[in-house]
Amino acid sequence: MKKKGFSEIDEKIMEVTGYGAKRGYGHNPALIIIDAQNMYVGLDKPILESLEVYPLSVGEKAWRAVEKIKNLLNIARAKKIPVFYSIDFVPLEELKFSSFVRKRISFEKKKEIPADKNSIVNLLKPRDSEIVIYKRYASALFGTPLISFLNSLNCDTLIVVGFITSGCVRAFVIDASSYNFNVVVVEDCVADRFELSHEVNLFDMNSRYADVVYADEVIDYFKKV
């Protein structure tokens, strides 16, 4: 990935510490599509317009990512690479237990929010044979059966796409790294509301927990699996 806004000191720190080395790919990948829900993707319009309808959405930047994700998804399906989706869903009666909701004005109770907010966008709609993980916290590996499913398939490499870069994507990546998977974040297949958060978290994940690459590289990898 490109290092934007780097100073000479930053470059020297990277050189001395060795952070950012390539971890590489394994032989048994899975495609992990994080929270590609209407409420996070939103409308294919500039973010301020999208936020008027879906208050947590990213808008047109997310839709550019969705188009790239669709390409990866098509190849994964053709190659019979396992595909897992996560959906961020907290029932209304459980909101009082959510530390995340307390960090924002809770939009979940607003009557004007569209009923399809929790649905995965149609362009990435799961097939009946594909598993959707319902999660209550940021990481799709926390309090869900996903780790068991991945282990049963002997997956060693997780290709991570979706939303939001600095939130649920990052949380999943850290957990997956802790479980010793080869973790690959696809830079042009993730997006964030805040551009600064997007760039900083991509840099940090690439430095410590994952390889951050572009979709074309992953497509080449999928074709060789």
CA nearest to 143, candidates 151, 152, 133: 133
Helix ranges, the chain (H): 8-17, 38-41, 47-51, 60-78, 146-152, 170-178, 195-208, 215-224
- What is residue 28's predicted lDDT score, i.e. its pLDDT? 98
CATH of domain 30-224: 3.40.50.850
With contact defined as beta carbons under 8 Å apart, do 159 and 131 qualify?
Answer: no
pLDDT of residue 5: 66
Closest CA to 122 of 45, 67, 191: 67
d(CA 130, CA 126) in angstroms, rounded, equals 6
Is residue 187 within a helix (H) or strand (E), and if so which, with residue range?
strand 182-191
Render each residue's pLDDT in the chain as its tens digit; 225 residues. 666 667 788 888 888 888 888 999 999 999 999 999 999 999 999 999 999 899 899 999 999 999 999 999 999 999 999 999 999 987 677 767 777 666 666 555 555 667 788 899 999 999 999 999 999 899 999 999 999 999 999 999 999 999 999 999 999 999 999 999 999 999 999 999 999 999 999 999 999 999 999 999 999 999 999
Using the structure block, give the residue that is written with the tokens 């989706």.
Answer: 85
CA 138 – CA 164 distance, rounded (Å): 10
What predicted TM-score, i.e. pTM, was given to this entire model?
Answer: 0.91
The pLDDT value given to residue 203 = 94
Enumerate the domain spans of the chain: 30-224
Pairing mode of beta strands 83-88, 29-34: parallel
Q: How far is CA 197 from CA 2, 11, 103, 122, 156, in A?
A: 15, 20, 16, 27, 28
Interior angle at CA 108, CA 107 and CA 109, nearest 5 = 95
Q: Which of 41, 84, 45 is nearest to 65 (CA)?
A: 41
Q: What is the pLDDT of residues 10-58, one digit of tens each?
A: 888 888 888 888 999 999 999 999 999 999 999 999 999 999 899 899 9
**Which among 59, 36, 54 has a CA at the least distance from the CA of 113?**
54
pLDDT, position 64: 98
Quick one: pLDDT at residue 195?
94
